[in-house]
Amino acid sequence: MNLLQWFYSSKPGEHKVKYVLTGDSDDFNVTYKCSKGCEVFQEPHVKKGWKHSFTGKSGDYFFLAAQSNKPNSSVHVKVYENGRLLNEVEKQGDFPLVTASGTFG
């Protein structure tokens, strides 16, 4: 087993999750929830390339919202589950806002 496989390996019912934020602005507001029992976090003025990783369990709800603080810009979020792209959303415009959410199987 190589290091990447080890990182993404999980116990039955566990899900290794990573949120990734990119876009053409360097000023975003991010709101996210990471798993059952996890409170909602708000992070203002984060830079593109922001990432957050956590371990969730089957049935847990996840949520990520990101908004650019600039007019005429783009925001792009990706959600990875066990190293596999689970959700991807992108939007352009004035102060664009995107959301990604779901429940782990």
Q: Tens digit of pLDDT for each residue in 43-86?
A: 999 999 999 999 989 888 899 999 999 999 999 999 999 999 99
Helices and strands: H and E segment counts in the chain: 1, 8
Helix, strand, coil percentages (3-state) for the chain, rounded to 5, are: 5, 60, 35
Q: Which pLDDT score, from 0 to 100, does residue 35 have?
A: 72
Going by pLDDT thresholds of 50, 70 and 90, the confidence category of residue 2 is very low
Going by pLDDT thresholds of 50, 70 and 90, the confidence category of residue 90 is very high
DSSP category for residue 62: E
Going by pLDDT thresholds of 50, 70 and 90, the confidence category of residue 9 is low
Q: Which pLDDT score, from 0 to 100, does residue 95 have?
A: 98
